[in-house]
Structure 1
């Protein structure tokens, strides 16, 4: 997993008035959960320009967070966005430890050219991210799935997948990708009969 350096400032004012003031200064209110005490939450702010490359990417990062000199390792858990302006309103981070597993969505990458596509089918990726549970040191940047054997009309389900050190949390019968029969392929099949 790639790392991302981020600096923030602790905040003690937690009301609406203080939050509006931070946003006017191009700062985003944020919180980090899951410290040694599970009810502990650390409130801080980060600058919009500092988090752009963390938010506007499909990749996952381990965030090296520095808050007024104290260091934390975290992952970005949630982003609240304004419904009209798409401005970032709030960020939630999860404090991670080497001995505690985390739950995170990891992007799926399909490798190879499916047999069904060669035969005239259309490949569709139904699940772009899979939810996994693992230690943060074992979480890959992407989950690679080989689809060369995938025939026409067949699919790959979550229950068929297995990755070392990862527990897949999606439903076992959820379809990850499939090769669909196209009209052209149906026409060829009808002529061949």
Structure 2
């Protein structure tokens, strides 16, 4: 598979007003990051740009990982944070069957409620998954993406939220998974890295990071 993408690592400036705004509202974060990709991408610009992001936080720092086909960080607000960009092409070339890797991903594990037959054609409510149900969801989605999990460590995160004018804020349930795995299907894995896994990709979920296992 001929896969190409760029990955930016942005150490956020917590004193910057735009950073504070974006951390409060995932829709604002999405708008900020969409400025880093080309214009005129059609009716699904995030998908066309292959834009994904993840916020990794510690007690002292907030680091934003942003991945897309191309990125122009000059469109970030001045003083937003310290950043660097790398080409992911070498990582895609390194993906081989049975390769041992470490992974990290933040996901939005949900299931869609089944509706009675008299409501056929309507969409059921999406129900957040927690605990063992969320773990099973991630194990299944990882297998579909070409990864056989060896270990997984779940970390429930504060739900992300975004505002839509005239509506109550929408919340997205997030869980971060860290662990080790083996590559079973390099092409499927490359596709999953490029397109993301699960829902809420516009709001900080779906970006899969890999590194060689020690």
Give me the TM-score of the superposition, normalised by structure 2. 0.25
Higher strand share: 1
Give me the TM-score of the superposition, normalised by structure 1. 0.27
* Greater Rg over alpha carbons, structure: 1
Higher relative contact order (CA 8 A, sep 6+): 2
